[in-house]
Structure 1
Amino acid sequence: MYIDKETGDYPLSPADIISRHAHNMSFPVPFEAPEQYALVAPASPPAFVQTTHKAVELAPLETEEGYLQQWEVVPLSAEELAQREAERLAAEQAARDAARVTVTKRQALLALFDMKGIKNEDIEGQINLIPDEFDRYRALVDWQGSAAIESDSPTMLKLAAGLNLTEADLHELFGYAETL
């Protein structure tokens, strides 16, 4: 990028410079800028914590060797922090959605029995152990009324915890269930 030494305009590309002077001069190939423009030596932005800060380019610094690109690290604004948090949450949700496996209840029951010896009665017994009546009823309705079982549904995660199934167990069970 170039800087206009007379006006301080920056950053300017070769195309910007050509368009500024297209009516009164021609340019050699390869491009050479007129004397009023100076090439700015690039400099890497300083290291910073990207979750809370950003690098902002400043006006180039004029040195004895020429112009040098300059950076400043500044805190993110409240709006930028909120945007980054929204993007992070969206990415987490997308990852959860991509990892979700949905199988029929039949596939889930067969996989639980084949791999862990767990029967439907064991699952309903585990549901009956849920202390909160509201949570227990919702889990029962969810389990009994579902035609499909999702690997990350709240009911499945509660049952997995009660049945001592790890996240790895669930992944293996649902992978196997998909084959049935």
Structure 2
Amino acid sequence: MERIEVNLATGQTTTHTDFFPAPPTPLTEDEARALLPALTPRQLCMMLPVIGLSEATIEGLISAIPGDDEKLRADIEWRKATSFRRNHPLVLSLSAALQFEPSELDTIWLYASTI
């Protein structure tokens, strides 16, 4: 879009093409996922049976993580976190182990945010 400026004294016109800012650059999928709402542990656990899973399933996946330090950190994160972000490494790791496509997890995540 452009803006035309007219000098009334001289009749000279000036065209400005920078009158309106350029449209924002679309977000990448990762940037959009980072903006999804955080889930509480309650929301996450309430969602599990809806998709055919249980807390025991998640705990089993965590116990199968190789490396004692990694497993311990994942267990602490699962049991003690006050919120979960869609792009958190534990969420990404568990969703990969469950073979969720990123778009499937996005849908699940958005639904869980309404619980």
Matched, 1:106 2:42: yes
Partner of 1:30: 11
Partner of 2:18: none
Q: Mark the runs of 5 or more structure 1 residues left unpaired by the alignment.
A: 1-27, 32-90
Partner of 1:127: 62
CA distance in structure 1 between the aligned counterparts of 2:86 and 2:49, rounded to whole angstroms: 16
CA-based RMSD of the aligned residues comes to 2.2
Find runs of 4+ consecutive structure 1 residues off by over 4 angstroms.
none
CA distance in structure 2 between the aligned counterparts of 1:134 and 1:98, rounded to whole angstroms: 26
Partner of 2:109: 174
Per-residue deviation, residues 85-135 of structure 1 (Å, max 9, x unmatched)? xxxxxx86x925753321111111111211x21100000000011112221
- Rg comparison, structure with higher value: 1
CA distance in structure 2 between the aligned counterparts of 1:136 and 1:98, rounded to whole angstroms: 24
1:45-124 alignment runs, 5 A limit: 95-96=31-32, 98-114=34-50, 116-124=51-59
Per-residue deviation, residues 53-104 of structure 1 (Å, max 9, x unmatched)? xxxxxxxxxxxxxxxxxxxxxxxxxxxxxxxxxxxxxx86x92575332111
Amino acid across the alignment from 1:129: A
Q: Verify the 8 A CA contact 2:33 2:106 in the aligned structure 1.
A: no
Identity %, equivalent residues? 26
User: Secondary structure in 1 aligned to 2:39?
Assistant: strand
More RCO (CA 8 Å, sep 6+):
2
- Structure 2 residue aligned with 1:153, among 88, 91, 113? 88
Aligned length: 92
Q: Mark the runs of 5 or more structure 2 residues left unpaired by the alignment.
A: 1-8, 13-26
CA distance in structure 1 between the aligned counterparts of 2:43 and 2:68, rounded to whole angstroms: 28
Q: Taking structure 1 as the reference length, what is the TM-score of the superposition?
A: 0.46
Partner of 1:47: none
